[in-house]
Amino acid sequence: MQIERLEIADILLVKAIKHVDQRGFFSETFRVDALANYGVDAMFVQDNHVHSAQRGVLRGLHYQTQPHAQGKLVRCTQGTILDVGVDIRVGSPTYGRHVAVELSAENWHQLWVPPGFAHGYVTLEDHCEVIYKVTDYYAPECDRGIAWDDPALAIDWRLSASEVILSEKDRRQPRLEDVAPAFQFGR
């Protein structure tokens, strides 16, 4: 397993290695010690599995506030997605900036998005499956979001607005400038 820091150092790209032979493959997709070497001491409490039938399904940008803030370790096991983490930690030198990484069944990469970041992804092809570990349970009272198309974030989702398929909840999310601060950098 290889891990590298991205443009926002708290977001990590995890590259699991596939060992392939005539039977198929073997891969370690999660190791506590490997993540701990990069400062991730998270305890995962739940795995989520999502299927999106169509290209253009956009889920996000979501986060949970304290006391149920979530870190997420995201991977795509079928198809291809563009996975995005947005820094929403007030006082952070990268506040309002984002990292976007293509995750796919082919490249087998994962993205660690820690608490303090909004997260979302869009499917780049039909029939995508995403599996992700979270560090806290879903808590509706702490559930928040930011508009996927907030111009201040300038996220290139690789699709036009007319191609994006959203839930009603995600259609109504506010811009980052209109949300109450939920996280402070360095805390």
φ, ψ for residue 91, nearest 5 deg: 95, -10
C-beta separation of 161 from 79 below 8 A:
no
Per annotation, catalytic residue among 49, 132, 137, 138: 132
The dihedral sign for the CA sequence 37, 8, 115, 185? positive
Residue 62 annotated as catalytic: yes
Residue 132 annotated as catalytic: yes
Closest CA to 38 of 129, 110, 88: 110
Per annotation, catalytic residue among 62, 98, 109, 119: 62
Sheet with 46-52, strands from edge to edge, namely 2-5, 12-15, 109-113, 72-78, 128-134, 46-52
Residues with active-site annotation: 62, 132
